[in-house]
Chains A and B, each alone.
Chain A
Amino acid sequence: SQQGEEDPQALSIQEGENATMNCSYKTSINNLQWYRQNSGRGLVHLILIRSNEREKHSGRLRVTLDTSKKSSSLLITASRAADTASYFCATGPGGVQGAQKLVFGQGTRLTINP
């Protein structure tokens, strides 16, 4: 079964607004990563947050991680039409061997309306 579950499944907002997506997971992790996928394209790595970190920023992106609640959030500020895409969280499970296997959630489909 999928480790990560994103919430909401779909999100539609106006350009300029902030978009928040959440991800929950079930087992221990080494790190959590967020990826973006434009329709029919490959995945673009956005940001990686380690299990001992609580918050990380990259440009207009802000990611938080709460290991006690097994959840993460991705905030995109001042959204643009080009941010329209599906966003996936992926966890790198704990344990030496499992660290290489990313487990993806179902994704959040974000639509930015001009």
Chain B
Amino acid sequence: NAGVMQNPRHLVRRRGQEARLRCSPMKGHSHVYWYRQLPEEGLKFMVYLQKENIIDESGMPKERFSAEFPKEGPSILRIQQVVRGDSAAYFCASSPSGHRTLKTQYFGPGTRLLVL
């Protein structure tokens, strides 16, 4: 059973370009979470999605960032017009459906975004 898959593992973009980060949850998991980690810091929640629904996007910046989890295919975190401050590691996690309060989140290896 493959774990959470993220690609690319490393992404380099110039200021003003778009970054697309993909996440495939573990088999059987229908809940996806995106977190951002700045150097030497802990992870910060960005968004929580279920298939075709954004459940909680309270951690998403108001502009340039968007996320989706379509019925088919991976979840996508999209950053438009990237700036140097977007450089960070972006982690995706997934969890199974079921009791809402006791689900362990399983993390992918992350995508390290560098904005030049």
Q: List residues of chain A with CB under 8 Å of any chain B CB.
A: 2, 4, 30-31, 33, 35, 40-45, 48, 50, 88, 90, 92, 96-97, 99-107
Contacts and interface: CB of A to CB of B under 8 A. Distances in A.
Given A42-B108, A42-B110, A100 B100 contact: yes
A42 B109 contact: yes
Nearest to A41: B109
A67 to B, nearest CB: 15
A48 B106 CA distance: 12
Contacts of B112: 40
Nearest to B42: A104
B42 A101 contact: no
B91 A88 contact: no
A104 B56 contact: no
B91 A30 contact: no
Nearest to A43: B107
Contacts of A35: 107
Interface in B30-66: 31, 33, 35, 41-45, 48, 55-56, 58-59
Given A88-B42, A105-B42, A31 B56 contact: no
B1 interface: no
Given A43-B91, A100-B55, A101-B48, A106 B42 contact: yes
Q: Which 10 A-B pairs have the closest CB atoms?
A: A104-B42, A43-B107, A99-B101, A42-B109, A104-B43, A42-B107, A30-B101, A101-B45, A106-B42, A100-B48
A97 B56 contact: yes
Contact of A107 (B42, B101, B107): B42
A9 to B, nearest CB: 9
Contacts of A40: 112
A85 B59 CA distance: 26
9 contacts: A2-B42, A33-B104, A42-B4, A43-B91, A45-B106, A45-B107, A100-B33, A101-B33, A102-B105
Contact of B56 (A48, A100, A103): A100
Contacts of A4: 42
